[in-house]
Chains A and B, each alone.
Chain A
Amino acid sequence: MDDLYREIIIEHYKNPSYRGHLDPHDIAFEDSNPLCGDHIQVELRVGEDGKVSDARFDGHGCAISQASADLLIESVIGKPLEEVKQLKSQDVLDLLGIELGPVRLKCALLSLKVLKAGVYGLGEASDELLG
């Protein structure tokens, strides 16, 4: 647990830097984890250079899901959209710096699913997006 609930995770859960909304925004998407009801919404602004100029998330859920959303959103600001499309599960796990079992993995990766579904302009977030 001392690993799972590292200070960085508790800190991003309790005091997220990127929780909020962007009005206007260029890309928005939201989805839930049906198992536990975790919910994540992301909003992105994309500059003329094709890079993410700003991003926010909102939602509710466990510390793992909310902290990983905050870390993920932080990491994509300034990145070209094409690079965001290439993000993989391992990238999120690297941000968290923890190892997770199959159940909690879904919590950690919800924000990536939502982000990628939004960036690809898909109607639905599926596990296939995780890579």
Chain B
Amino acid sequence: MTFDVSSIRKDFPILSRDIRPGVPLVYLDSTATAQKPVAVLAAMDEFYRHSNANIHRGVHTLAEEATGLYEQARVAVAKFINAPSHRQVIYTRNATESINLVAYTWARANLKAGDMLILTEMEHHSNLVPWHMLAAERGVRLEFIPVTPDGLLDLDEYEKLLAQGPKLVSFTHMSNVLGTITPAAEIIRLAHAAGALTLLDAAQSVPHFAVDVQALDVDFMAFSAHKMVGPTGIGALYGKTALLEAMPPFLGGGDMIKEVKLRSFRPNEIPYKFEAGTPAIAEAVGFGAAAEYLTALGMDAIAAHEHEITEYALERLEEIPGVKVFGPPADKKGGVAAFTLEGIHPHDVAQILDVDGIAVRAGHHCAQPLHEKFGIQATSRASFYLYTTTGEIDKLVDGIYKVKKTFG
């Protein structure tokens, strides 16, 4: 089956809008958030129009329906990452909250002063700051797998760090700046051999290629719906059952309890133990619809398309004098091209591209330490997804030439 981008683009209403009269949108910012297909919009709309009620404990028909849809979506998300059971998928607000959940429950219950955690130099702030906060509170020690000049993780250094007996290795599956796809299976295997648990930040990987939590044997995995064509406001934490069952609850409140007395409570079973208060129900329904939409297209076909686009983009960008693209070559990265244009600030690049309807991001992309490592303040970042076309890459390249002309 061929991957028909033009027919896929018809699934995404926003892609046909003009940014200004006669200037169509060229959306190259999917790494920040993906656009949403009709399937997701319709599922959420239908939920509110037809089935809206609060979930659990209701016995009326709407409550039953809403609960059913909320839980069916969990099953769809579990299937999407090949989780052994839907009980292992905890709804959160986003990948950031998923990482915080592990930091506030598992880590605070199991780590003490002097314990060591391994992160990497290419982490998003979401996989740095929760651990900074833990380190300040508990005196745990953070070590970092270095990034090589070509944007890969230095695995020799990683093995040296493992010899120091870390308790947890928490790392990204795909850098949101360099695009580097990390060798997650190997990193996890080595961590386990050293007696450490693993947390995978899959916010950038799950939307773009097939991720199988059982094949990876990962202990925890965090991801967001909105980067995989689902709504904002919902994400998930996957965890191994024994770990999740042993962990203390996260937030307290309704739904996460089995029984409440005036002075005590007993927590609910997983996954509900970690889901306090009325959750984002319609968003969960949209999350499930997003997982099903991507599955129907086939994650391998999506990955192949993005690889083609990335190869083309890198080739075209690198032929522009003054452009420097960061990160490894196309065979080791996902659909991200963070670049600098000599003598012109990334904000100015992004602003001038916007005039032609081209949406790229400029800044440090919530990875300030990584930018410091490469000795730069900021980059412009174009990112690609299942709906990106080579024609859009051509428009980006034309736009960059226009930026150069503006600055003379």
Q: Chain A interface (Cβ within 8 Å of chain B)?
A: 1, 4-5, 10, 14, 35-38, 60-64, 104, 107
Asked whether any CB of chain A lies closer than 8 Å to the CB of B352, the reply is: yes
List the B side residues contacting A104 at CB < 8 Å: 347, 351
Tally of A-B residue pairs with Cβ under 8 A? Answer: 47
Judge if B362 is at the interface, Cβ distance under 8 Å: yes
Q: In the assembled complex, which residues on chain B have CB atoms less than 8 Å from the CB atom of A107?
A: 347
Residue pair B348, A62 in contact (C-beta under 8 Å)? yes
Is B406 on the interface with A (CB-CB < 8 A)? yes
Q: Are the CB atoms of B377 and A37 closer together than 8 Å? A: yes
Binary flags per residue of B362-390, CB closer than 8 Å to A gives 1, else 0: 11100010000000011000000000000
The one of A4, A5, A35 that contacts B363, using a Cβ cutoff of 8 Å:
A35
- Which of B346, B351, B377 has its CB near the most chain A CB atoms (within 10 A)? B351
Residues of A within 8 A of B407 (CB): 10, 14, 63
Residues of A near B344 (CB, < 8 A) are 63
Q: Report Cα–Cα, A33/B106, bound state, in Å.
A: 35
Q: Which residues of B are interface residues toward A (Cβ below 8 A)?
A: 344-348, 351-352, 354-355, 362-364, 368, 377-378, 406-408
Cβ B364 vs Cβ A37 within 8 A: yes
Alpha-carbon gap, A104 to B355, bound state (A): 14
Do B377 and A64 touch across chains, with their CB atoms under 8 A apart? no
Check if A1 sits within 8 Å of B377, measured CB to CB. Answer: no
Q: Which residues of B contact A64 (CB under 8 A)?
A: 347-348
Contact B352 A62 (CB under 8 A): no
Residues from chain A with Cβ under 8 Å of B363 in the complex: 35-37
Q: Write out the residue numbers on chain A whose beta carbons fall within 8 Å of the beta carbon of B408.
A: 10, 14
Q: Which residues of A contact B352 (CB under 8 A)?
A: 1, 5
Most chain B CB within 10 A, of A35, A62, A104, is at: A62
A1 engages B347 (CB within 8 Å): no
Q: Which residues of B contact A36 (CB under 8 A)?
A: 346-347, 362-364, 377-378
Does A63 lie within 8 Å of B348, measured CB to CB?
yes
Q: Assess the B351–A1 pair: CB atoms within 8 A.
A: yes
Report the minimum CB–CB distance from A106 to chain B (whole Å): 10
Residues in A with CB closer than 8 Å to B378 are: 36-37
A64 CA / B364 CA spacing, docked (Å): 18
CB neighbours of A14 from chain B (8 A): 407-408
Residue of A nearest to B364 (CB): A37
Q: Look across to chain B and name the residue whose beta carbon is closest to the beta carbon of A37.
A: B377
The answer to whether B355 and A63 have CB atoms under 8 Å apart is no
Could you give 14 example pairs across A and B, Cβ below 8 Å? Answer: A1-B406, A5-B351, A14-B408, A35-B363, A36-B363, A36-B377, A37-B377, A62-B347, A63-B344, A63-B345, A63-B407, A64-B347, A104-B347, A104-B351
The smallest C-beta distance from B371 to any residue of chain A, in angstroms, reads 8
Would you give the shortest CB distance from B263 to chain A, in whole angstroms?
44
Highest count of chain A CB atoms <10 Å: which of B347, B354, B368, B378: B347
Complex CA–CA separation, A10 to B346 (angstroms): 15
A107 to B348: give the CA distance in the assembly, Å: 11
Roughly how many angstroms separate A10 CA and B404 CA in the complex, as a whole number?
Answer: 12
Q: How far is the CA of A62 from the CA of B350 in the complex (A)?
A: 11
